[in-house]
Structure 1
Amino acid sequence: MSKWYEEAVFYHMYPIGMTGAPRQNTQEEVTHRFQELMEWLPYVQSLGCTAIYIGPLFESTSHGYDTRDYKLVDRRLGDNEDFKAFVAKAHELGIKIVVDGVFNHTGREFFAFKDIQQNRENSPYCSWFKGINFGWNSPYNDGFGYEAWRNCFELVNLNYWEPKVREYILSVIGFWIDEFDIDGIRLDCADCLEFSFMEEMRRYTNEKKADFWLMGEVIHGDYSRYVSADKLDSVTNYELHKGLYSGHNDHNYFEIAHTIRREFDANGGIYKGLKLYSFVDNHDVDRIASKLNVPGHIYPVHTLLYTLPGIPSLYYGSEWGIQGRKEGANDDPLRPAVDLKEALEHVPDPKLLQWVKTLGRIHKEQPALSDGRYQELLLTNRQYAFARILGDEGVIVAVNNDDKDAYLSIRVPMQGKTYTSLLNGSVIKEENGALQVKLAPNESFLAAMR
């Protein structure tokens, strides 16, 4: 039987941005913005999403990834009781909650780093961070040097060869499970963490909560190094993310099909059997509506997000076609404040929102889209068809990125089956081992095979 996360559709919330919280945390008081976030929950449920990835949430200095206090919800969003109520309400609605685990580095205001600033060589925390050297100096003129994440000196790299660091971070994970009943953690910069620590984390979370999900942010490299029974359940599929937009921009479905074949093909796919985390955009990359050369391609892009192998994730507002591009190193345009009520009254692309809801319904109703093996059926630069097969049933999907109608003859993977449109309920007749399908520009075809 599948675990909840293998069948999930995620909704990704960046709370500091979406609530319009100040980008710098200079306040003494707590501002209770979780009531606003709570109002998103029924809407997320209406999209067919069954899980939320929300974060970062730890008390921090600016964007959320420079942690001050791992056991406090960021005061710009609310307090621990507010988040507890948010998780309880989500669970009532059948929505799992996964939070950002910012465990590779801390901010400069984290207690252990402040202790080194104060006590220098006499601090018991000198071994907690990488590269502490009292013969150097930092750009902040601390009188000592340290290793920073990608030379961003507001982010101080933790040293996982220090047992007390491991012990402390495991206690943080335990705190969030016990205190808030979270269902999983997305590990920020997982490709920087020690594999032995991931194994320790896996053992620890298995004991705390049997179906706890560990997902890692990994951009490059071999994803299978991270995903295994003794480490993580999943990682971000940046390889597919790249293919989904550039395969449309270049009118080149071969790129997407090659990626899927390489990753998940039943005969030799290097990640066959793994459930990677699929997305078309997130809080670190340009919005999909801003990336596509042809606006209409946003429809087949989402069809593929929901139907190709992987665990699909929507980034807040992208289901309406919201725009946003990075401005140099500034990510703020990707993380705008959104008033949900107002946004739903003036949806930029209501047709897209409806399509995403339809895909959410279909994903929920068709187990083959979560667990079915992948089989390619037709491929040209501008048309692509495949099946997801589970036992003797499945789903056939076809997409057209052309600016004119396409007439497809899609060979069927099994003879003697009935093919029913998942969009209008009509029965599509098989003729000589193929389905004859006409697709308008940017149209998708989805049919159940029984």
Structure 2
Amino acid sequence: MAVMPTETPLAAPAWIHDAVFLHVYPLGACDAPATNDFHGAPVARLDGLLPWLDHWAALGVNAVYLGPVFESSTHGYDTADYFHVDRRLGDDAALARLADGLHARGMKLVVDAVFHHVGRGFWAFRDVREKGQASPYRSWFSGLRFDGRNRFGDPFVYQGWRGVEELVKLDLRQDAVRRHLFDAVAHWVARYGIDGLRLDAADDMDLDFFDGLHAFCRGLDKPLWLMGEVIHGDYRNWARPGRLHATTDYALWKALWSSHNDRNYFELAHTLKRQVAQGEGMYEGLTLYTFADNHDVNRVASLLKDLRHLPLLYLLLFTLPGAPSLYYGGEWGKQGRKEGGNDRPLRPPLPAPPGPPDNPPGLRAALSRFISLRHQHEPLRRGHYRELLVRNEQLAYARELGADALVVAVNLADKPSDGVDLPMPGAPDGEWVDLLEPSRRFPLRGGRLQLGPLPPTSGRVLRKA
């Protein structure tokens, strides 16, 4: 069912350019049991997220990326049924209540679409286990052969995600498989009004599957944002007309935290110049999904050597190009590291709102200010990126949209920086105000914005007064 586009490719929905995401992993956030017995009555643990919606909205969040929510065996990425909510989280009505609550607040809903593989509890794979070569679904799974035994003792072998036999790779070239997955997407749109898909393991999938998905989505009642999980490679292989609208931006993720730990903003500046610099960035014009941490990597508050840098990192995240995302708990500096390959410390239960005290203090208020500035000033959402200054411990850049411009300058050092004098060729003389500290104003004379020394571990966001 490899349908190739014959019309103009589906453009990214306009809302994505204004999006600020909150990413939540529901099985962890809702403290669901680690395994699914597939027999118990549904427990509406998803309702535990409802009291958080107003808090997220007040923070400035206007889109939620919801991790795996459909019936699975364990962690959600081993799907058993694409058409029903995981009973550990509730029934289909529980997800509908959450979706309605988000949409009532003007918030978009993006769900995890785990289409590369399924779990061994997936209904069609169970049929293969029961009927062997007589199963009509034997063609659904990649590398399925009846000339050996897998590690579970079944009289057949198959491909798993990166060799993991608990995650059975689907054969996405099969028309019946594509129809089933595309029907699931149509169901999610009709039942829950979803606004987008995050395609899990996109960098391990056949690219023409995404072409077919894009073509299918053109016939839906609403445009969907299609974003792929890509860790390595040229994101343009996935994010291109007729395919996906965006990918995860792991290159920026790494540069954000390691440039602070190494006190080396040249690393971050290099990544930004390569990716988004005006006129030369390879991803200029793409709105990639940007983040400081997620359900798969150590939380950024545990990665940073100096927690005083956490507000600076978020200031950068929310003023740089992309669709920025905050991972649940990040708003108060939640820490967490993988332990022996166990991801559960990254995916803890979400407490009752408003949650614990901030670490560092004032983090939530700082995030609210940064997000508010992003919403208020279009150059931060749609403007070009231009580097103005880079030193080991200082970085400054402009976000420019037509005649409107904002300047961001940060200092990660423990002491005041040397004087900062930024090139602004063609800009008229006048005063610029720090939007984070409106009482502070700085002169622009002769095409130079004169900020003087930047205070320790601080940042400024400036606009012409």
Q: What TM-score do you get using the length of structure 1 for normalisation? A: 0.97
Report the more deviating stretch, 157-166 or 433-442.
Answer: 433-442
How far, CA to CA, are the matches of 2:225 and 2:272 in structure 1? 23
**CA–CA distance in structure 1, aligned partners of residues 350 and 15 of structure 2:** 29
**Contact 1:412 1:435 survives alignment (8 Å):** no
1:267-282 pair list within 5 angstroms = 267-282=279-294
Q: Is 1:439 paired with 2:454? A: yes
Could you tell me how far apart the structure 2 residues matched to 1:423 and 1:347 are?
A: 19
Does the Cα contact within 8 Å between 2:228 and 2:248 map onto a contact in 1? yes
Spell out the pairing of 1:101-180 with structure 2 (5 A cutoff): 101-180=113-192
- Correspondence list, 1:368-387, <5 A: 368-387=379-398
Could you tell me how far apart the structure 2 residues matched to 1:413 and 1:252 are?
27
Letter in 1 for 2:25: Y
Q: Distance in 2 between matches of 1:137 and 1:337?
A: 39
One-letter amino acid of the structure 1 residue matched with residue 87 of structure 2: R
Are the aligned partners of 2:52 and 2:353 in contact in 1 as well (CA < 8 Å)?
A: no
In the other structure, the counterpart of 2:3 is none
Q: Percent identity?
A: 41
* Aligned mates of 2:175, 2:281 — CA distance in 1: 37
Note the alpha carbon deviations across 1:3-51, whole angstroms, 9 max, x for none.
1012101000001111111111125111111221111111110111110
Q: CA deviation at 1:2?
A: 7.5
CA contact (8 A) 2:13 2:223 kept: no
From 219, 224, 240, the counterpart of 1:212: 224
Cα shift readout 1:130-154 (whole Å, capped 9, x = no counterpart): 0101112111111110000012111
- Tell me the equivalent position of 2:443: 429
Residue equivalent to 2:346: 334
* 2:400 paired residue number: 389
**Deviation digits for residues 174-226 of structure 1 (CA, Å, limit 9, x no counterpart):** 01001110000100001122211101111211221443100100000010011
Letter of the structure 2 residue corresponding to residue 228 of structure 1: R
1:24 pairs with 2:35: yes
Once the 2 structures are TM-superposed, how far is the Cα of residue 418 of structure 1 from its aligned partner? 4.6
Q: Is the 8 A contact 2:423 2:449 kept in 1?
A: yes
1:299 Cα shift?
Answer: 1.5
4+ residue stretches of structure 1 with deviation over 3 A? 346-350
CA spacing shift, 1:429–1:209, aligned 2, 3 Å? farther
The corresponding residue for 2:5 is: none
Asked whether the equivalents of residues 387 and 413 of structure 1 are also in contact (C-alpha less than 8 Å), the reply is no
- Contact 2:13/2:224 (8 A) holds in 1: no
For 1:303-322, list aligned pairs within 5 A: 303-322=315-334
Which of residues 196, 218, 223 is equivalent to 1:184? Answer: 196
Q: In structure 1, what residue type is equivalent to 2:86?
A: D
Q: 1:298 aligns with which of 310, 315, 322?
A: 310
Alpha-carbon contact 2:30-2:350 (below 8 Å) kept = yes
Q: 1:208 is paired with a residue of what secondary structure?
A: coil
Q: 1:419 aligns with which of 408, 417, 432?
A: 432
Determine if contact 1:411/1:435 at 8 Å carries over to the other structure.
no
Q: The residue matched to 1:139 in structure 2 has which SS?
A: coil
Counterpart in the other structure of 1:448: 463
By how many angstroms is 1:294 displaced? 1.2
1:280–1:19 Cα change, 3 Å: same
Amino acid at match of 1:72: H
**Per-residue deviation, 1:431:** 3.4
- What letter corresponds to residue 439 of structure 1 in structure 2? L
Distance in 1 of aligned mates of 2:153 and 2:332: 46
Kindly tell me the number of residue pairs found equivalent between the two proteins. Answer: 449
- 2:244 corresponding residue in structure 1: 232
CA contact (8 A) 1:3 1:211 kept: no
For the 8 Å contact 2:65–2:111, the answer to whether it is kept is: yes
Q: Which residue of 1 aligns with 2:23?
A: 12
Unmatched tracts of structure 2, length 5 or more: 1-11
Q: Does the aligned pair in 1 maintain the 2:141–2:170 contact within 8 Å?
A: yes
Q: Which moved more, 1:114-123 or 1:423-432?
A: 423-432
The CA distance in 2 between the partners of 1:140 and 1:413, in whole Å, is 67
Give the stretch that moved more between structures: 405-414 or 291-300.
Answer: 405-414
Unaligned runs of 5+ in 1: none
- The DSSP-based 3-state class of the residue aligned with 1:271 is coil
> Which of 342, 354, 377 lines up with 1:366 in the alignment?
377
Which amino acid letter does the alignment assign opposite residue 117 of structure 1? R
TM-score normalized with structure 2 length: 0.94
- Secondary structure (helix, strand or coil) at the match of 1:446 reads strand
Q: Could you tell me how far apart the structure 1 residues matched to 2:359 and 2:88 are?
A: 28
SS in 1 for 2:23: strand
Please say if residues 307 and 360 of structure 2, whose CA atoms lie closer than 8 Å, have aligned partners that are also in contact.
no
- From the superposition, tell whether residues 290 and 126 of structure 1 become closer, same or farther in structure 2 (CA, over 3 Å): same
1:357 aligns with 2:372: no
Question: Quick one: distance in 2 between partners of 1:342 and 1:397?
Answer: 30
For residue 271 of structure 1, what is the amino acid of its counterpart? Y
DSSP 3-state at the match of 2:28: helix
Give the drift of 1:413. 4.7
Look up the match of 1:258. 270
